[in-house]
Chains A and B, each alone.
Chain A
Amino acid sequence: MIPTSYYLALSAVLFAIGVTGVLTRRNAIIVFMSVELMLNSANLTFVAFARQFMDLSGQVFVFFVMVVAAAEVAVGLALIVAIFRSKQSISLDELNQLKG
């Protein structure tokens, strides 16, 4: 069997890559995909601990995280489409005013 710490280390690396994506990229869609990567690395941690402690609650939580991610993507992409309509761009640098 593979030690649980290996999965946790891999998930930490994926989470760090996701954070880097959120903070360095300026394309709103790529920022969104980085958020998905972070959610997914958290899912990997949940499933690894579910296996470690033989408790299915971890897997059920992954299910809930996926539901929240799906709802978040639907609303987020709708927001991006609305921003693109008014600004003709999805660069986050151009979103510097609250008044649309």
Chain B
Amino acid sequence: MTIELVLFFLLAVVAIGAAVGMLLSKNAVHSALFLVLNFATVAFFFLFLGAPFIAMVQVTVYAGAIMVLFLFVIMLLGAEQLRQPSTVLPWQPPLTVFLAVVFVGAAWLYFANAGPGSLAAPPPFATAEAAGAFGSPQAVGQTLFQTYVLPFEITSFLLLIGMIGAVVLTRDDKKR
């Protein structure tokens, strides 16, 4: 058991624990904070996987901007808790949990039986420079602007449409 593996399992336990905490919290604010913890631990996994740029984007955009927006809306609406428990579709939660366990079990069976093939550990980087170059902002930027220029431009339209949509949807109807 190397130190890397110990760290991986520690962080995996934190990530899964935070996800389960998000699922089980009665209060939506607690759920949002658990999700921030989950995103932060996943950012650590991105660092392990040689993706420092993606890890930083994860922290600033996901754990920062998106979750702050969530918390803002929860507190704006005062909708931390639902007033009454659900009575519609009472058979749905047990069935969902059962199927989720079946899914994880099937994935586990696959990984247990796959053996040391294509999914074994990737070879480590030859030098520290090679490790720093892979996934650096420069390398990601070059791939983004050379191979994926058109998708990148389309995402700018997507963000514009999203912004206009949010403004239109939250506009006060009485003022028209």
Write out the residue numbers on chain A whose beta carbons fall within 8 Å of the beta carbon of B53.
59
Contact-residue bracket for chain A: 35 or more
- B interface residues with partner A (beta carbon < 8 Å): 4-5, 8, 12, 15-16, 19-20, 22-23, 25, 28, 31-32, 35, 38-39, 42, 45-46, 48-51, 53-54, 57-58, 61-62, 65-66, 69-70, 73-74, 76-77, 79, 81-84, 86-88, 92-93, 96-97, 100-101, 103-104, 107-108, 111, 114, 118-124, 134-135, 139-140, 143-144, 147-148, 151, 155, 158-159, 161-163, 165-167, 169-170
Give the shortest distance, in Å, between B70 (CB) and chain A (any CB).
7
Name A2-35 residues within 8 Å CB distance of B.
2-10, 12-14, 16-21, 23-27, 29-30, 32-34
**A27-B79, A82-B170 given; 13 more Cβ-contact pairs under 8 Å:** A2-B4, A7-B45, A17-B20, A19-B96, A37-B35, A67-B155, A69-B66, A71-B162, A73-B69, A79-B169, A89-B79, A91-B83, A91-B84
- A interface residues with partner B (beta carbon < 8 Å): 1-10, 12-14, 16-21, 23-27, 29-30, 32-34, 36-37, 40, 43-44, 47-48, 50-52, 54, 56-57, 59-60, 62-64, 66-75, 77-82, 84, 89-91, 93
Contact in complex: B147, A57 (CB < 8 Å) = yes
